[in-house]
Amino acid sequence: MKNTVSTLRQQKLDGDKITMLTAYDYSTAKLMDESGVNALLIGDSLGMVMLGYEDTLSVTMEDMIHHTAAVARGAKDALVVADMPFMSYQASVVDGMYNAARFLKETGCAAVKLEGGAEVCELVQKLTQAGIPVVGHIGLTPQSVNQLGGFKVQGKSAEAAQKLLDDARALEQAGAFAIVLECVPEALAAKVTESLKTAATIGIGAGKYCDGQVLVCNDLLGYTDGFCPKFVKRYADLHSEMTAAFKAYAADVK
């Protein structure tokens, strides 16, 4: 079945949890699609897990377009969502409209994701009015890592929790059909989820009460042996398996 903004909305209403994974290339996207994952996000985590940067700030529109088009070619049924990179929408609404439109025109994706709360709502409203579906992203927003002082859990104080709730409601009001909640206490994510009527919450490190979950594919697969957030469940140990295969190949050739 083809996943669309409407089917994801219906999943929220039916209490049918939404599955989302990050994907960066054609072959992996095809496997995820064939496995029935509802939505594939070409996250700007691309910069860290595929391109070797320290954070997501160096990722460009060209990087994102290149990888989003590859993922879209591998996704028959999954909804493909492109992440808008740092400074592709923060300077002006016009920049945001222009760059979001590029994703739809040049890659075949069906929606875009952008970070921020009330401050991006004018853009979210204009995008949805123009027919570009939007996923919001609040809590830990990696593009603001320098302002947040690191990759930390958000919404811990009563004031921060209220702001997160207000931001989620504002994004829903502006037309976002889903909102990623990253590194948010479970009880707060549950409250946000319950208070939203149309926008589905997609949690990452936000507990089990969200309408859906997203993970960085490389973390789930155990691709690297470097840092991995505590909330990630590893479903494979590709790091060991691939290293063993490469060593076996090298030994055979020698």
- Residue ranges binding ligand KIV (CB under 6 A): 22, 43-45, 83, 137, 180, 182, 204, 214, 216
Q: Which residue is nearest to ligand KIV, using beta carbons?
A: 43
Residues 6 or more apart whose CB falls under 8 angstroms from that of 42 comprise 22, 23, 24, 64, 67, 68, 71, 80, 81, 82, 83, 109
Give min distance, CB of 248 to ligand KIV, in A: 32
The smaller minimum CB distance to ligand KIV, of residues 147 and 157, is found at 147
Q: Which of 144, 151, 198 is nearest to 171 (CA)?
A: 198
Q: Which of 9, 3, 12 is nearest to 21 (CA)?
A: 3
Nearest-angstrom CA–CA distance, 133 and 178: 9
Q: Which of 176, 193, 197 is nearest to 112 (CA)?
A: 176
The smaller minimum CB distance to ligand KIV, of residues 83 and 211, is found at 83
Give min distance, CB of 101 to ligand KIV, in A: 20
Task: Compute φ and ψ for 215, nearest 5 degrees.
Answer: -135, 155
The smaller minimum CB distance to ligand KIV, of residues 61 and 245, is found at 61
Q: Which of 170, 209, 215, 213 is nearest to 188 (CA)?
A: 209
Is 182 annotated as catalytic? yes
Q: Looking at 122, 172, 182, 186, which residue is catalytic? A: 182
Give min distance, CB of 203 to ligand KIV, in A: 9
Give min distance, CB of 249 to ligand KIV, in A: 31
User: What are all long-range contacts of 223-230, with beta carbons under 8 Å and residues at least 24 apart?
Assistant: 223/49, 224/49, 229/205, 230/205
Nearest-angstrom CA–CA distance, 35 and 21: 11
Give min distance, CB of 180 to ligand KIV, in A: 5
The smaller minimum CB distance to ligand KIV, of residues 12 and 137, is found at 137
The smaller minimum CB distance to ligand KIV, of residues 44 and 211, is found at 44
Q: Which residues are catalytic?
A: 182
